Amino acid sequence: MGPPDAYEVLGVPRDATAVELRSAYRRLALEHHPDRNPGDPDAERRFKEIVLAYERLRDPRQRAAYDAGQRPRGRRGDFDEEWEEIFAQIFRGARRKEAGEGAPAQARDLRARLDITLEDAAQGAEREIHLRRWVWCDACRGRGADPEAPPAACPLCGGSGELRFKRGLADLAIPCSTCEGKGRYVRERCGACGGEGRSRRESRLRVKVPAAVEDGAQLKLKGKGDESAQRGEAGDLYVGVHIRPHPLFRREGLDILFDLPVSFPQAALGDEVVVPTLNGEVRMRIPAGTQSGRVFRLRGKGLSPAGGLRTGDQRVRVLIETPTRLNERQRRLLEEFQRISTPSTNPRRRKFLEKVKSFLG
């Protein structure tokens, strides 16, 4: 498979003028420049294609030969060792910039924590979080230079607007990324960002919490992380959701667990009680003879995710409370109850004693 079509790479028609070719080349070379896209293999590949496409077309005679389908003579224009050495030099310089103090500030993901109630988790909510993040400086458009200061000759390209590279027969000029090919560069720092190209600001962001969100879930806010100083690109913000303990309820999947203390007479005689739920109070019947630990299920009173196929239930566990402080009349009544009780009054205890007796022989 041959190299890509040079005109398509530069995005120009086949009858483009020399000025149009150069303009397209400078714009694309700056866009995909390794200084602006450190560590990006796609940008590196595109940059090479753009440089080589322009090299095939910038000389009128070589362009005519290219249009006629002729392969360039000699090694000029070929992707050979000399081109490899030039590109290696360019990308080594970009990597040194990335590792050094002068490296452009990059976009970065951030993490934040959001504490919500169980009611928020059940119904869904919208909450505001505050955080400090790096934001692109619109005063200097991320350049870090004072927009009001007079420009001077670019210190990197010496005012030419280009950086030249030569290896053997391979000779090319690429636009200077420091001055964006203009040759002039403002050296005074921007007063708004101190020359960083971005500044740390307090941000208030609205976070939508979906219904039935799990404890520990990560909510992604795209583009709300630290912004780059180059193009205003931003990382993402990952918000960790933490559900605070509830004084009454516990959660298990989509179900809500609730312990209901009842008195001994209520459990023995049966009763109708009021049970709180996340959606208000409901009345529940306790049958006579209910044992401690029995679980009743309130259908549809749990969590319901948006668009979910199932709604959870509320499971109510009955806990029979043994009285701890008795007056004289209560004590006499309980003693009388115990005296007139028969084995059939407490069948579970009777069966337990029979098993113990059998075990002990």
Average pLDDT of the segment spanning 236-242:
96
Position 280 scores a pLDDT of: 92
Residue 180 phi/psi, 5-degree rounding, is 60, 35
Least confident of 60-64, 241-245, 292-296: 60-64
Domain ranges of the chain: 6-99, 249-360
Least confident of 70-74, 182-186, 196-200, 262-266: 70-74
Task: State what percent of residues in the chain have pLDDT above 70.
Answer: 86
Position 45 scores a pLDDT of: 86
Position 1 scores a pLDDT of: 55
Q: What is the C-alpha to C-alpha distance for residues 346 and 59, in angstroms, rounded to an integer?
A: 106
Average pLDDT of the segment spanning 336-357:
75
Position 76 scores a pLDDT of: 46
What is the longest distance spanned by two Cα atoms in the chain? 120
Q: Are 82 and 170 in contact (CB under 8 A)?
A: yes
Residue 162 phi/psi, 5-degree rounding, is -135, 155
The H or E element containing residue 167 is strand 162-167
pLDDT band at residue 231 under the 50/70/90 scheme: low
Average pLDDT of the segment spanning 265-288:
95
Q: Is 243 exposed, middle or buried (0-12, 13-18, 19+ CB in 10 A)?
A: buried
348 vs 209, higher pLDDT: 209
CA-nearest of 113, 109, 114 to 133 is 109
User: Which CATH number does 249-360 carry?
Assistant: 2.60.260.20
Residue 47, pLDDT above cutoff 50: yes
**How does pLDDT run across 91-127, given as a tens digit for each residue?**
665 545 544 444 556 788 999 999 999 999 999 999 9
Long-range pairs of 214-221 with CB within 8 A, sequence gap ≥ 24:
214/241, 215/121, 215/241, 215/242, 215/243, 215/251, 216/240, 216/241, 216/242, 217/241, 219/114
Residue 78, pLDDT above cutoff 60: no
Task: Identify the three-state secondary structure at position 346.
Answer: coil
Q: Domain 6-99 is of which CATH architecture?
A: Orthogonal Bundle (1.10)
Between vectors from CA 35 to CA 29 and to CA 38, what angle results, nearest 5°?
110
